[in-house]
Structure 1
Amino acid sequence: MKKFIAIITLLLSTSFFVSAQDIDKQEIKATIQKLFDGMRASDKTAVENVFAPNAQLFTIVGGEGETNVRKGKLEDFLNAIAAPHELVFDERIWSYKIETDGMLATAWTEYTFFLGEHMSHCGVNAFQLYKADEEWLILQITDTRKKYDCKTEPTNNSQLTKELDLLLDNWHKAAAKADADAYFGKIAESGIYLGTDKTERWTKEKFWSFAKPYFDKGKAWDFKATKRDIVFGENNKYAWFDELLDTWMGTCRGSGVLKFENGEWLIEQYNLTVTVPNDKIQDVIKAIGENTK
Protein backbone atom coordinates (compact mmCIF):
# COMPACT_ATOMS: atom_id res chain seq x y z
CA MET A 1 0.00 0.00 0.00
CA LYS A 2 2.82 2.43 0.89
CA LYS A 3 4.45 1.69 -2.44
CA PHE A 4 1.17 2.34 -4.25
CA ILE A 5 0.68 5.67 -2.43
CA ALA A 6 4.25 6.68 -3.27
CA ILE A 7 3.67 5.95 -6.98
CA ILE A 8 0.43 7.94 -7.01
CA THR A 9 2.14 10.84 -5.20
CA LEU A 10 4.98 10.79 -7.74
CA LEU A 11 2.57 10.75 -10.68
CA LEU A 12 0.54 13.62 -9.26
CA SER A 13 3.62 15.74 -8.51
CA THR A 14 5.05 15.05 -11.97
CA SER A 15 1.71 15.95 -13.55
CA PHE A 16 1.62 19.22 -11.59
CA PHE A 17 5.18 20.08 -12.62
CA VAL A 18 4.46 19.45 -16.31
CA SER A 19 1.25 21.46 -16.05
CA ALA A 20 3.07 24.37 -14.38
CA GLN A 21 5.73 24.31 -17.11
CA ASP A 22 3.04 24.36 -19.79
CA ILE A 23 1.39 27.37 -18.14
CA ASP A 24 4.75 29.16 -17.96
CA LYS A 25 5.37 28.50 -21.65
CA GLN A 26 1.95 29.88 -22.57
CA GLU A 27 2.65 33.01 -20.50
CA ILE A 28 6.11 33.42 -22.05
CA LYS A 29 4.64 33.14 -25.53
CA ALA A 30 1.97 35.67 -24.57
CA THR A 31 4.67 38.13 -23.43
CA ILE A 32 6.48 37.78 -26.75
CA GLN A 33 3.25 38.24 -28.67
CA LYS A 34 2.50 41.42 -26.68
CA LEU A 35 5.83 42.79 -27.91
CA PHE A 36 4.96 42.26 -31.56
CA ASP A 37 1.32 43.30 -31.14
CA GLY A 38 2.61 46.54 -29.60
CA MET A 39 5.01 47.08 -32.50
CA ARG A 40 2.20 46.63 -35.01
CA ALA A 41 0.02 49.08 -33.08
CA SER A 42 2.88 51.62 -32.61
CA ASP A 43 2.14 51.36 -28.89
CA LYS A 44 5.34 52.37 -27.12
CA THR A 45 3.91 51.78 -23.63
CA ALA A 46 2.69 48.26 -24.41
CA VAL A 47 6.13 47.33 -25.78
CA GLU A 48 8.01 48.95 -22.90
CA ASN A 49 5.92 47.01 -20.37
CA VAL A 50 7.22 43.61 -21.55
CA PHE A 51 10.89 44.54 -21.01
CA ALA A 52 12.93 44.49 -17.81
CA PRO A 53 14.27 47.98 -16.95
CA ASN A 54 17.84 46.94 -17.79
CA ALA A 55 16.99 44.90 -20.91
CA GLN A 56 19.56 44.63 -23.69
CA LEU A 57 19.29 44.25 -27.47
CA PHE A 58 21.91 42.67 -29.74
CA THR A 59 22.12 41.84 -33.43
CA ILE A 60 24.60 39.34 -34.88
CA VAL A 61 25.91 40.71 -38.16
CA GLY A 62 27.86 38.42 -40.49
CA GLY A 63 29.42 38.80 -43.91
CA GLU A 64 32.64 38.32 -45.85
CA GLY A 65 34.11 36.06 -43.19
CA GLU A 66 33.46 38.50 -40.36
CA THR A 67 30.99 38.28 -37.51
CA ASN A 68 30.16 41.33 -35.46
CA VAL A 69 27.86 41.96 -32.53
CA ARG A 70 25.90 45.17 -32.75
CA LYS A 71 24.40 46.48 -29.50
CA GLY A 72 21.18 48.46 -29.66
CA LYS A 73 19.57 50.77 -27.12
CA LEU A 74 16.13 49.91 -25.79
CA GLU A 75 15.27 53.62 -25.67
CA ASP A 76 16.05 54.03 -29.39
CA PHE A 77 13.94 50.96 -30.19
CA LEU A 78 10.96 52.33 -28.23
CA ASN A 79 11.29 55.77 -29.82
CA ALA A 80 11.30 54.21 -33.29
CA ILE A 81 8.03 52.44 -32.47
CA ALA A 82 6.46 55.65 -31.18
CA ALA A 83 7.68 57.83 -34.07
CA PRO A 84 5.09 58.46 -36.83
CA HIS A 85 5.44 55.96 -39.69
CA GLU A 86 3.08 55.08 -42.52
CA LEU A 87 3.97 51.38 -42.79
CA VAL A 88 3.15 48.87 -40.06
CA PHE A 89 6.10 47.25 -38.26
CA ASP A 90 4.93 43.66 -38.71
CA GLU A 91 7.18 40.94 -37.31
CA ARG A 92 5.62 37.55 -38.05
CA ILE A 93 6.70 34.61 -35.92
CA TRP A 94 6.76 31.18 -37.57
CA SER A 95 7.85 28.96 -34.66
CA TYR A 96 8.60 28.93 -30.93
CA LYS A 97 11.09 26.82 -28.97
CA ILE A 98 10.76 27.64 -25.27
CA GLU A 99 12.75 26.21 -22.35
CA THR A 100 12.28 27.08 -18.67
CA ASP A 101 14.09 26.49 -15.39
CA GLY A 102 12.26 28.03 -12.48
CA MET A 103 12.22 31.80 -12.98
CA LEU A 104 14.50 31.76 -16.06
CA ALA A 105 13.43 31.07 -19.63
CA THR A 106 14.80 31.13 -23.16
CA ALA A 107 12.78 31.34 -26.36
CA TRP A 108 14.00 30.80 -29.92
CA THR A 109 11.71 32.17 -32.63
CA GLU A 110 11.94 32.20 -36.41
CA TYR A 111 10.65 35.46 -37.86
CA THR A 112 10.14 37.54 -40.98
CA PHE A 113 9.89 41.31 -40.65
CA PHE A 114 7.53 43.21 -42.94
CA LEU A 115 7.14 46.94 -43.50
CA GLY A 116 3.46 46.97 -44.32
CA GLU A 117 3.11 44.22 -46.92
CA HIS A 118 6.74 44.50 -48.07
CA MET A 119 9.15 41.86 -46.79
CA SER A 120 12.21 43.53 -45.23
CA HIS A 121 14.32 40.74 -43.70
CA CYS A 122 14.18 37.55 -41.67
CA GLY A 123 16.16 35.55 -39.12
CA VAL A 124 15.82 34.25 -35.58
CA ASN A 125 15.27 35.92 -32.22
CA ALA A 126 16.90 34.46 -29.10
CA PHE A 127 15.02 35.72 -26.03
CA GLN A 128 16.05 35.56 -22.39
CA LEU A 129 13.23 36.17 -19.92
CA TYR A 130 12.73 36.06 -16.17
CA LYS A 131 9.66 35.89 -13.98
CA ALA A 132 9.08 38.85 -11.67
CA ASP A 133 5.93 39.37 -9.61
CA GLU A 134 4.10 36.59 -11.50
CA GLU A 135 4.96 38.21 -14.84
CA TRP A 136 7.49 37.18 -17.48
CA LEU A 137 9.72 40.04 -18.65
CA ILE A 138 12.30 40.18 -21.44
CA LEU A 139 15.89 40.54 -20.25
CA GLN A 140 17.60 40.28 -23.62
CA ILE A 141 16.95 39.75 -27.31
CA THR A 142 19.69 38.70 -29.69
CA ASP A 143 18.67 38.44 -33.34
CA THR A 144 20.08 37.57 -36.74
CA ARG A 145 19.06 39.25 -40.00
CA LYS A 146 19.17 38.27 -43.66
CA LYS A 147 17.29 39.13 -46.84
CA TYR A 148 17.29 35.75 -48.59
CA ASP A 149 15.42 32.43 -48.10
CA CYS A 150 12.77 34.25 -46.05
CA LYS A 151 9.34 32.79 -45.40
CA THR A 152 6.43 35.00 -46.38
CA GLU A 153 3.63 32.56 -45.51
CA PRO A 154 3.39 29.65 -43.06
CA THR A 155 4.59 26.41 -44.65
CA ASN A 156 1.52 24.76 -43.13
CA ASN A 157 -1.36 25.80 -40.92
CA SER A 158 -0.32 23.86 -37.83
CA GLN A 159 1.75 26.72 -36.38
CA LEU A 160 -0.89 29.28 -37.32
CA THR A 161 -3.57 27.13 -35.66
CA LYS A 162 -1.52 27.11 -32.45
CA GLU A 163 -1.14 30.90 -32.67
CA LEU A 164 -4.91 31.42 -33.00
CA ASP A 165 -5.60 28.85 -30.28
CA LEU A 166 -3.43 30.91 -27.93
CA LEU A 167 -5.05 34.16 -29.06
CA LEU A 168 -8.55 32.85 -28.30
CA ASP A 169 -7.48 31.25 -25.01
CA ASN A 170 -5.92 34.54 -23.89
CA TRP A 171 -9.02 36.41 -25.05
CA HIS A 172 -11.21 34.32 -22.76
CA LYS A 173 -8.68 34.68 -19.91
CA ALA A 174 -8.78 38.46 -20.33
CA ALA A 175 -12.52 38.42 -19.54
CA ALA A 176 -11.93 36.26 -16.47
CA LYS A 177 -9.32 38.77 -15.26
CA ALA A 178 -11.45 41.77 -16.29
CA ASP A 179 -8.66 43.03 -18.56
CA ALA A 180 -10.79 45.20 -20.83
CA ASP A 181 -7.89 46.43 -22.96
CA ALA A 182 -6.75 42.88 -23.77
CA TYR A 183 -10.30 41.63 -24.35
CA PHE A 184 -11.74 44.42 -26.47
CA GLY A 185 -8.38 45.04 -28.12
CA LYS A 186 -8.78 41.72 -29.97
CA ILE A 187 -12.20 42.65 -31.37
CA ALA A 188 -12.11 44.49 -34.70
CA GLU A 189 -13.63 47.96 -34.79
CA SER A 190 -16.28 46.54 -37.13
CA GLY A 191 -16.68 43.44 -34.97
CA ILE A 192 -20.06 41.96 -34.02
CA TYR A 193 -20.81 39.96 -30.86
CA LEU A 194 -23.90 37.73 -30.84
CA GLY A 195 -25.01 36.80 -27.32
CA THR A 196 -27.32 34.03 -26.13
CA ASP A 197 -30.42 36.24 -26.08
CA LYS A 198 -32.14 36.85 -29.44
CA THR A 199 -31.86 40.62 -28.88
CA GLU A 200 -28.09 40.51 -28.34
CA ARG A 201 -26.54 41.54 -31.63
CA TRP A 202 -23.94 44.05 -30.54
CA THR A 203 -21.41 46.24 -32.28
CA LYS A 204 -18.12 46.58 -30.43
CA GLU A 205 -19.33 49.83 -28.87
CA LYS A 206 -22.67 48.36 -27.72
CA PHE A 207 -20.97 45.22 -26.43
CA TRP A 208 -18.66 47.40 -24.32
CA SER A 209 -21.66 49.26 -22.91
CA PHE A 210 -23.15 45.93 -21.84
CA ALA A 211 -19.88 44.50 -20.51
CA LYS A 212 -18.41 47.54 -18.74
CA PRO A 213 -20.25 47.06 -15.40
CA TYR A 214 -18.94 43.49 -15.21
CA PHE A 215 -15.36 44.51 -16.02
CA ASP A 216 -15.57 47.36 -13.51
CA LYS A 217 -16.32 44.79 -10.78
CA GLY A 218 -12.96 43.09 -11.44
CA LYS A 219 -14.30 39.90 -13.01
CA ALA A 220 -16.46 39.50 -16.07
CA TRP A 221 -17.06 35.89 -17.15
CA ASP A 222 -14.83 32.83 -17.06
CA PHE A 223 -15.15 30.69 -20.20
CA LYS A 224 -12.69 27.88 -20.89
CA ALA A 225 -12.48 26.15 -24.25
CA THR A 226 -12.53 22.35 -24.07
CA LYS A 227 -12.49 21.75 -27.83
CA ARG A 228 -11.85 23.98 -30.82
CA ASP A 229 -11.67 23.61 -34.60
CA ILE A 230 -10.15 26.23 -36.91
CA VAL A 231 -10.21 26.38 -40.71
CA PHE A 232 -8.49 28.94 -42.94
CA GLY A 233 -9.52 30.79 -46.06
CA GLU A 234 -7.43 31.48 -49.13
CA ASN A 235 -4.02 33.05 -48.37
CA ASN A 236 -4.68 32.63 -44.62
CA LYS A 237 -6.32 36.04 -44.36
CA TYR A 238 -9.49 34.70 -42.73
CA ALA A 239 -10.07 31.95 -40.19
CA TRP A 240 -13.36 30.40 -39.09
CA PHE A 241 -13.57 28.65 -35.74
CA ASP A 242 -16.00 26.91 -33.44
CA GLU A 243 -15.38 25.87 -29.86
CA LEU A 244 -17.05 24.15 -26.94
CA LEU A 245 -16.88 26.16 -23.73
CA ASP A 246 -17.09 25.27 -20.05
CA THR A 247 -19.19 28.11 -18.57
CA TRP A 248 -21.48 28.92 -15.65
CA MET A 249 -24.37 28.17 -18.06
CA GLY A 250 -23.03 24.68 -18.70
CA THR A 251 -21.54 23.71 -22.05
CA CYS A 252 -21.82 26.51 -24.59
CA ARG A 253 -20.67 26.76 -28.19
CA GLY A 254 -18.76 29.76 -29.48
CA SER A 255 -18.10 30.31 -33.16
CA GLY A 256 -16.66 33.17 -35.10
CA VAL A 257 -14.51 34.72 -37.78
CA LEU A 258 -10.97 36.10 -37.45
CA LYS A 259 -9.38 38.40 -40.01
CA PHE A 260 -5.67 39.08 -40.52
CA GLU A 261 -5.16 42.74 -41.32
CA ASN A 262 -2.38 45.28 -40.71
CA GLY A 263 -0.21 42.55 -39.26
CA GLU A 264 -2.57 41.14 -36.63
CA TRP A 265 -5.52 38.80 -36.18
CA LEU A 266 -8.74 40.36 -34.91
CA ILE A 267 -12.19 38.92 -34.18
CA GLU A 268 -14.70 40.10 -36.76
CA GLN A 269 -17.61 38.12 -35.34
CA TYR A 270 -18.27 35.98 -32.29
CA ASN A 271 -21.47 33.99 -31.70
CA LEU A 272 -22.21 32.50 -28.27
CA THR A 273 -24.93 29.84 -27.95
CA VAL A 274 -26.12 27.57 -25.16
CA THR A 275 -26.12 23.90 -26.15
CA VAL A 276 -29.25 21.85 -25.43
CA PRO A 277 -29.36 18.03 -25.43
CA ASN A 278 -31.89 16.78 -27.96
CA ASP A 279 -33.93 14.96 -25.32
CA LYS A 280 -34.27 18.22 -23.31
CA ILE A 281 -35.33 20.53 -26.12
CA GLN A 282 -39.07 20.30 -25.35
CA ASP A 283 -38.39 21.23 -21.72
CA VAL A 284 -36.41 24.25 -22.89
CA ILE A 285 -39.17 25.32 -25.29
CA LYS A 286 -41.70 25.16 -22.44
CA ALA A 287 -39.36 27.03 -20.08
CA ILE A 288 -38.90 29.98 -22.43
CA GLY A 289 -42.55 29.95 -23.46
CA GLU A 290 -41.94 29.77 -27.18
CA ASN A 291 -42.97 27.09 -29.65
CA THR A 292 -41.86 27.35 -33.23
CA LYS A 293 -44.41 24.86 -34.61
Structure 2
Amino acid sequence: MPKENKGLKSLAFLKVDATINAETESLAFLNLYLNAFQGMKLDGSGHVNGRIHMKQGKLEPGTDLIIAARELGMDLMGYRVEGDGTISVDVPKDNPDNHIGIEFDSLEAFDVDGQTTLFSGSGLAVNATGNTVVVPLDGLQPKAKSIAVSIPSVKVPDLKPYQRFLPDKWAFKLHGGEGELQGSAELTQEKFSSDIRLTSNEADVGVKDFRFQTDLDMVVKVNSPSLETGVVDVTGTYFKLNDARLSREDGDVDPWYAEIIVAKGVISLNLDEAEDGVSGVKNLAEALRSRDFKSLLA
Protein backbone atom coordinates (compact mmCIF):
# COMPACT_ATOMS: atom_id res chain seq x y z
CA MET A 1 0.00 0.00 0.00
CA PRO A 2 1.51 3.37 -0.97
CA LYS A 3 2.71 5.36 2.06
CA GLU A 4 0.94 8.56 0.98
CA ASN A 5 -2.46 6.89 1.31
CA LYS A 6 -3.27 7.14 4.99
CA GLY A 7 -6.39 7.24 7.14
CA LEU A 8 -9.62 7.13 5.16
CA LYS A 9 -7.78 6.98 1.85
CA SER A 10 -6.22 3.68 2.86
CA LEU A 11 -9.69 2.11 3.01
CA ALA A 12 -9.96 2.44 -0.75
CA PHE A 13 -7.15 -0.11 -1.07
CA LEU A 14 -8.77 -2.64 1.25
CA LYS A 15 -10.67 -5.70 0.12
CA VAL A 16 -12.82 -7.07 2.90
CA ASP A 17 -15.21 -10.02 2.93
CA ALA A 18 -15.71 -11.01 6.53
CA THR A 19 -18.23 -12.08 9.14
CA ILE A 20 -18.52 -9.76 12.14
CA ASN A 21 -19.79 -10.57 15.62
CA ALA A 22 -18.48 -7.91 17.96
CA GLU A 23 -19.26 -5.02 20.29
CA THR A 24 -18.71 -1.43 19.22
CA GLU A 25 -18.43 1.46 21.66
CA SER A 26 -19.28 4.06 19.01
CA LEU A 27 -21.60 4.22 16.02
CA ALA A 28 -19.81 7.28 14.63
CA PHE A 29 -18.21 5.15 11.88
CA LEU A 30 -21.61 5.18 10.13
CA ASN A 31 -21.72 8.97 9.89
CA LEU A 32 -19.19 9.22 7.07
CA TYR A 33 -21.89 7.68 4.89
CA LEU A 34 -25.06 8.90 6.61
CA ASN A 35 -24.08 12.56 6.31
CA ALA A 36 -25.29 12.36 2.70
CA PHE A 37 -28.84 11.85 4.02
CA GLN A 38 -29.78 15.40 5.02
CA GLY A 39 -26.77 15.53 7.37
CA MET A 40 -27.99 12.57 9.45
CA LYS A 41 -25.77 11.59 12.37
CA LEU A 42 -25.91 8.66 14.79
CA ASP A 43 -24.30 8.13 18.17
CA GLY A 44 -24.41 5.35 20.72
CA SER A 45 -22.96 1.85 21.05
CA GLY A 46 -24.09 -1.67 20.25
CA HIS A 47 -23.47 -5.18 19.00
CA VAL A 48 -22.61 -5.67 15.31
CA ASN A 49 -23.46 -8.96 13.63
CA GLY A 50 -23.39 -10.08 9.99
CA ARG A 51 -21.27 -9.89 6.86
CA ILE A 52 -19.39 -6.96 5.33
CA HIS A 53 -18.09 -7.14 1.77
CA MET A 54 -16.15 -4.04 0.68
CA LYS A 55 -13.81 -3.40 -2.24
CA GLN A 56 -12.14 -0.16 -3.37
CA GLY A 57 -14.14 1.95 -0.94
CA LYS A 58 -17.51 0.52 -1.96
CA LEU A 59 -19.83 -1.95 -0.27
CA GLU A 60 -20.44 -5.00 -2.41
CA PRO A 61 -23.61 -7.13 -2.80
CA GLY A 62 -23.86 -9.60 0.05
CA THR A 63 -23.17 -7.00 2.74
CA ASP A 64 -25.74 -7.61 5.47
CA LEU A 65 -25.15 -6.11 8.92
CA ILE A 66 -27.43 -5.81 11.95
CA ILE A 67 -26.54 -3.54 14.86
CA ALA A 68 -28.43 -3.87 18.15
CA ALA A 69 -27.94 -0.29 19.31
CA ARG A 70 -27.90 0.98 22.88
CA GLU A 71 -28.33 4.63 23.88
CA LEU A 72 -29.00 5.31 20.22
CA GLY A 73 -29.14 8.96 19.21
CA MET A 74 -30.15 10.26 15.78
CA ASP A 75 -29.88 13.86 14.54
CA LEU A 76 -31.88 14.58 11.38
CA MET A 77 -32.98 17.89 9.84
CA GLY A 78 -32.46 19.75 13.12
CA TYR A 79 -34.41 17.31 15.30
CA ARG A 80 -33.07 14.65 17.67
CA VAL A 81 -34.36 11.21 18.64
CA GLU A 82 -32.94 9.17 21.53
CA GLY A 83 -33.61 5.59 22.64
CA ASP A 84 -32.71 1.99 21.82
CA GLY A 85 -33.16 0.27 18.51
CA THR A 86 -31.82 -1.66 15.55
CA ILE A 87 -29.74 -0.52 12.58
CA SER A 88 -29.44 -2.56 9.39
CA VAL A 89 -27.05 -2.16 6.45
CA ASP A 90 -27.90 -4.27 3.41
CA VAL A 91 -26.68 -4.45 -0.20
CA PRO A 92 -28.91 -7.05 -1.90
CA LYS A 93 -27.52 -9.05 -4.79
CA ASP A 94 -30.54 -8.27 -6.98
CA ASN A 95 -30.53 -4.51 -6.19
CA PRO A 96 -26.99 -3.16 -5.73
CA ASP A 97 -27.94 -0.08 -3.73
CA ASN A 98 -27.07 0.41 -0.09
CA HIS A 99 -30.17 0.05 2.10
CA ILE A 100 -30.06 1.57 5.58
CA GLY A 101 -32.76 0.87 8.16
CA ILE A 102 -33.06 2.45 11.62
CA GLU A 103 -35.91 1.43 13.92
CA PHE A 104 -36.36 2.62 17.49
CA ASP A 105 -37.77 0.17 20.05
CA SER A 106 -38.23 3.01 22.54
CA LEU A 107 -37.66 6.68 21.92
CA GLU A 108 -38.00 10.30 22.91
CA ALA A 109 -37.97 12.96 20.18
CA PHE A 110 -36.82 16.53 20.78
CA ASP A 111 -37.53 19.83 19.07
CA VAL A 112 -34.85 21.88 17.30
CA ASP A 113 -33.82 23.41 20.65
CA GLY A 114 -32.66 19.94 21.75
CA GLN A 115 -34.59 20.19 25.04
CA THR A 116 -38.34 20.32 24.36
CA THR A 117 -39.90 16.87 24.08
CA LEU A 118 -42.10 16.55 21.00
CA PHE A 119 -43.21 12.95 21.50
CA SER A 120 -42.26 9.59 22.99
CA GLY A 121 -43.13 5.98 22.24
CA SER A 122 -41.75 3.24 20.01
CA GLY A 123 -41.58 2.14 16.40
CA LEU A 124 -40.22 5.23 14.65
CA ALA A 125 -38.43 3.97 11.54
CA VAL A 126 -36.07 5.50 8.99
CA ASN A 127 -35.42 3.71 5.71
CA ALA A 128 -32.89 5.09 3.25
CA THR A 129 -31.22 4.03 0.02
CA GLY A 130 -28.08 5.35 -1.60
CA ASN A 131 -25.06 4.38 -3.64
CA THR A 132 -22.50 1.97 -2.21
CA VAL A 133 -19.61 4.44 -1.92
CA VAL A 134 -18.53 4.61 1.73
CA VAL A 135 -15.10 6.21 1.27
CA PRO A 136 -15.05 9.62 -0.48
CA LEU A 137 -12.10 9.39 -2.84
CA ASP A 138 -11.15 10.34 -6.40
CA GLY A 139 -14.35 12.30 -6.97
CA LEU A 140 -16.62 9.56 -5.68
CA GLN A 141 -18.89 10.49 -2.77
CA PRO A 142 -21.61 8.77 -0.75
CA LYS A 143 -24.86 9.84 -2.41
CA ALA A 144 -28.40 9.48 -1.10
CA LYS A 145 -31.25 8.39 -3.35
CA SER A 146 -34.17 8.36 -0.94
CA ILE A 147 -35.04 8.64 2.73
CA ALA A 148 -38.38 7.84 4.38
CA VAL A 149 -39.50 8.37 7.97
CA SER A 150 -42.46 6.55 9.49
CA ILE A 151 -43.96 7.55 12.85
CA PRO A 152 -46.57 5.22 14.37
CA SER A 153 -48.97 6.48 17.02
CA VAL A 154 -46.78 8.12 19.67
CA LYS A 155 -47.58 10.13 22.80
CA VAL A 156 -47.34 13.93 22.77
CA PRO A 157 -46.84 15.23 26.34
CA ASP A 158 -47.55 18.87 25.49
CA LEU A 159 -49.27 20.38 22.45
CA LYS A 160 -47.75 23.83 22.95
CA PRO A 161 -44.59 23.27 20.80
CA TYR A 162 -46.84 22.57 17.80
CA GLN A 163 -48.22 26.12 17.88
CA ARG A 164 -45.69 27.27 15.29
CA PHE A 165 -47.48 25.24 12.62
CA LEU A 166 -50.61 27.40 12.98
CA PRO A 167 -50.95 30.67 11.04
CA ASP A 168 -51.34 33.74 13.24
CA LYS A 169 -54.48 34.83 11.41
CA TRP A 170 -56.25 31.61 12.38
CA ALA A 171 -56.50 33.09 15.91
CA PHE A 172 -56.17 29.69 17.62
CA LYS A 173 -53.47 29.19 20.24
CA LEU A 174 -52.32 25.84 21.60
CA HIS A 175 -51.71 26.34 25.33
CA GLY A 176 -51.16 22.68 26.19
CA GLY A 177 -52.73 19.30 26.75
CA GLU A 178 -51.61 15.80 25.85
CA GLY A 179 -52.20 14.10 22.52
CA GLU A 180 -51.07 11.58 19.94
CA LEU A 181 -49.11 12.00 16.73
CA GLN A 182 -48.55 9.79 13.72
CA GLY A 183 -47.31 10.34 10.21
CA SER A 184 -44.80 9.78 7.47
CA ALA A 185 -42.42 11.68 5.22
CA GLU A 186 -40.44 10.70 2.14
CA LEU A 187 -37.71 12.51 0.22
CA THR A 188 -36.30 11.25 -3.08
CA GLN A 189 -34.09 12.80 -5.72
CA GLU A 190 -37.19 14.18 -7.44
CA LYS A 191 -39.90 14.79 -4.83
CA PHE A 192 -40.86 15.31 -1.20
CA SER A 193 -44.07 14.44 0.64
CA SER A 194 -45.24 14.32 4.26
CA ASP A 195 -48.49 13.66 6.09
CA ILE A 196 -48.60 14.34 9.84
CA ARG A 197 -51.67 14.02 12.10
CA LEU A 198 -51.96 15.39 15.65
CA THR A 199 -55.00 14.53 17.79
CA SER A 200 -56.09 15.15 21.37
CA ASN A 201 -59.13 14.56 23.57
CA GLU A 202 -58.04 17.20 26.07
CA ALA A 203 -56.46 20.07 24.16
CA ASP A 204 -56.14 23.43 25.91
CA VAL A 205 -56.92 25.89 23.10
CA GLY A 206 -57.28 29.66 23.25
CA VAL A 207 -59.34 31.90 20.99
CA LYS A 208 -58.75 35.59 21.71
CA ASP A 209 -59.44 36.03 25.46
CA PHE A 210 -61.16 32.66 25.91
CA ARG A 211 -59.72 29.25 26.81
CA PHE A 212 -61.38 25.98 25.85
CA GLN A 213 -60.97 22.30 26.63
CA THR A 214 -61.63 20.55 23.34
CA ASP A 215 -61.08 17.60 21.04
CA LEU A 216 -58.41 18.48 18.47
CA ASP A 217 -57.74 16.95 15.06
CA MET A 218 -54.93 18.59 13.07
CA VAL A 219 -53.42 17.33 9.81
CA VAL A 220 -50.47 18.89 7.99
CA LYS A 221 -49.88 17.74 4.41
CA VAL A 222 -46.86 18.85 2.36
CA ASN A 223 -46.27 17.62 -1.17
CA SER A 224 -43.64 18.71 -3.68
CA PRO A 225 -43.91 16.46 -6.75
CA SER A 226 -40.92 18.17 -8.37
CA LEU A 227 -38.16 19.59 -6.20
CA GLU A 228 -36.67 21.18 -9.30
CA THR A 229 -39.62 23.58 -9.53
CA GLY A 230 -39.67 24.36 -5.80
CA VAL A 231 -43.49 24.15 -5.76
CA VAL A 232 -44.96 23.00 -2.42
CA ASP A 233 -48.62 21.95 -2.14
CA VAL A 234 -50.32 21.95 1.29
CA THR A 235 -53.79 21.09 0.00
CA GLY A 236 -55.70 18.89 2.45
CA THR A 237 -54.17 20.41 5.57
CA TYR A 238 -56.84 21.03 8.21
CA PHE A 239 -57.46 22.08 11.82
CA LYS A 240 -60.63 20.91 13.59
CA LEU A 241 -62.07 21.48 17.07
CA ASN A 242 -64.99 19.46 18.40
CA ASP A 243 -66.95 19.62 21.66
CA ALA A 244 -65.09 22.78 22.73
CA ARG A 245 -65.99 23.80 26.29
CA LEU A 246 -65.09 26.99 28.13
CA SER A 247 -62.37 26.44 30.72
CA ARG A 248 -63.90 28.98 33.12
CA GLU A 249 -67.35 29.59 34.53
CA ASP A 250 -69.05 32.00 32.13
CA GLY A 251 -72.59 30.74 32.44
CA ASP A 252 -74.23 28.11 30.31
CA VAL A 253 -72.48 27.96 26.96
CA ASP A 254 -73.13 25.06 24.62
CA PRO A 255 -70.08 23.17 23.31
CA TRP A 256 -69.13 24.29 19.82
CA TYR A 257 -67.33 23.04 16.73
CA ALA A 258 -64.94 24.73 14.30
CA GLU A 259 -62.80 23.68 11.37
CA ILE A 260 -60.41 25.21 8.87
CA ILE A 261 -59.57 23.20 5.75
CA VAL A 262 -57.01 24.17 3.12
CA ALA A 263 -58.93 23.23 -0.02
CA LYS A 264 -56.11 24.52 -2.22
CA GLY A 265 -52.72 25.86 -1.14
CA VAL A 266 -49.56 26.11 -3.24
CA ILE A 267 -46.37 28.16 -2.72
CA SER A 268 -42.94 28.33 -4.33
CA LEU A 269 -39.61 27.97 -2.54
CA ASN A 270 -36.22 29.00 -3.88
CA LEU A 271 -34.24 25.77 -4.20
CA ASP A 272 -32.10 26.97 -7.11
CA GLU A 273 -28.85 26.42 -5.23
CA ALA A 274 -29.62 22.79 -4.38
CA GLU A 275 -27.25 20.17 -5.69
CA ASP A 276 -28.51 17.05 -7.43
CA GLY A 277 -29.98 14.27 -5.34
CA VAL A 278 -31.34 13.90 -1.83
CA SER A 279 -28.12 15.11 -0.22
CA GLY A 280 -28.32 18.31 -2.25
CA VAL A 281 -31.68 19.49 -0.97
CA LYS A 282 -30.56 20.14 2.59
CA ASN A 283 -31.93 23.63 2.10
CA LEU A 284 -35.44 22.20 1.71
CA ALA A 285 -35.89 22.07 5.48
CA GLU A 286 -34.11 25.41 5.84
CA ALA A 287 -36.36 26.96 3.20
CA LEU A 288 -39.48 25.66 4.92
CA ARG A 289 -38.29 27.00 8.26
CA SER A 290 -37.21 30.36 6.83
CA ARG A 291 -40.63 30.83 5.29
CA ASP A 292 -42.06 29.72 8.67
CA PHE A 293 -44.48 26.90 7.91
CA LYS A 294 -47.31 29.05 9.22
CA SER A 295 -46.95 31.22 6.12
CA LEU A 296 -47.64 28.22 3.90
CA LEU A 297 -51.12 27.95 5.39
CA ALA A 298 -51.98 31.62 5.83
TM-score range, shorter chain: under 0.3
Could you say which structure has the higher helix fraction? 1
Give the alignment's TM-score, normalised by structure 1. Answer: 0.24
Could you say which structure has the higher strand fraction? 2
Give the alignment's TM-score, normalised by structure 2. Answer: 0.24
